[in-house]
Amino acid sequence: MKTIAVTIRTSVALMIVILAYQLVVTGIAQAVMPDKADGSLIYNDKHEVIGSKWIGQNFTSPGYFHGRISSIEYNAVSSGTPNYAPSNPDMLERTKASVEAWKSENPGVPVSELPVDLITNSGSGLDPHISVEAAQVQIPRISKSTGIPEEQLKELVAKHTQERELGVLGERAVNVLLLNIDVQKTVNGK
């Protein structure tokens, strides 16, 4: 009986310590970096959540920049991707379909100029970024669809280009959601 009492007291004490720790860490995060602590959410003019800076979305309209393929349909509930080998028949079929879609949506850009990140998915399946090259090759299609001059679209891509961390880590990238928000504002004249 004494062992059970000690076990219960120890369990309750640990639960209190863990709860206190979580509250302190959450409080510090909210005070120091509230945007990140809340998920880096992006709001529209009506203060409705339209996305997160860190979760990709599926854009299919010809008037928007398209992101990477997501084998999980951008469902953030569970991230991950199948680890298909390049010789896997499903991977080959999906890649062929992606290339065919590219050719029909971007007839003025040869497949030889198609950046690989537009036909492959990231490890999480949720990557919101594409390479600068992947954004640039989509400019002719978006210009034709929206009427925005190509030079203006190049400026928007440059505005949303994120440089390497500390100048050496990672690759230059473009956040597709943030870029498309500016494309929409430009189309709407805002």
Instruction: Please state, in angstroms and rounded to a whole number, the distance separating the CA atoms of residues 67 and 175.
Output: 9
Q: What is the mean pLDDT of residues 7-22?
A: 95
Residue 182 pLDDT? 95
Rounded to an integer, what distance in angstroms lies between the CA atom of residue 139 and that of residue 64?
A: 9
- Please, are residues 54 and 40 in contact by the beta-carbon 8 Å criterion? yes
Q: What's the whole-model pTM score? A: 0.78
Average pLDDT for the chain: 89
User: Is the pLDDT reported for residue 78 higher than 80?
Assistant: no
pLDDT given at position 154: 97
CB 66 within 8 A of CB 60: yes
Task: Report whether pLDDT(66) > 80.
Answer: yes
Residue-wise pLDDT for 83-116, tens only, equals: 778 888 988 898 899 899 999 999 888 999 999 9
What are the C-alpha distances in Å from 13 to residues 8, 17, 63, 178?
Answer: 9, 6, 57, 46
pLDDT tens readout for residues 34-54:
777 777 888 888 889 888 888
Q: Distances from the Cα of 109 to the Cαs of 61, 140, 144, 189, in angstroms?
A: 17, 8, 13, 28
**Confidence label for 179 from pLDDT (cuts 50, 70 and 90):** very high
Place of tokens 């009427």: 147
- pLDDT tier, 174 (very low <50, low <70, confident <90, very high otherwise): very high
